[in-house]
A and B are shown apart, each in its own frame.
Chain A
Amino acid sequence: EDKVVQSPLSLVVHEGDTVTLNCSYEVTNFRSLLWYKQEKKAPTFLFMLTSSGIEKKSGRLSSILDKKELFSILNITATQTGDSAVYLCANSGGSNYKLTFGKGTLLTVNP
Chain B
Amino acid sequence: DTAVSQTPKYLVTQMGNDKSIKCEQNLGHDTMYWYKQDSKKFLKIMFSYNNKELIINETVPNRFSPKSPDKAHLNLHINSLELGDSAVYFCASSQDLGGDYTFGSGTRLTVV
**Chain A residues with a Cβ under 8 A of chain B:** 31-32, 34, 38, 41-45, 48, 86, 88, 90, 92-93, 96-101, 103-104, 106
A42 contacts B43, CB within 8 Å?
A: no
Q: How many angstroms between the C-alpha atoms of A106 and B90 in the bound complex? A: 19
B43 contacts A41, CB within 8 Å?
A: no
Give chain A residues whose Cβ lies under 8 Å from the Cβ of B103. Answer: 42-44
Task: Say whether chain A's binding surface is mostly helix, strand, loop, or mixed.
Answer: strand
A-B contact count (CB 8 A): 59
Q: What 14 new A-B contacts, CB under 8 Å, besides A32-B98, A43-B90, A88-B43?
A: A31-B98, A32-B99, A42-B4, A42-B103, A43-B43, A43-B101, A44-B103, A48-B99, A98-B56, A99-B98, A100-B45, A101-B42, A103-B41, A104-B42
B100 contacts A97, CB within 8 Å?
A: no
Q: Does B86 contact A (CB under 8 A)?
A: no
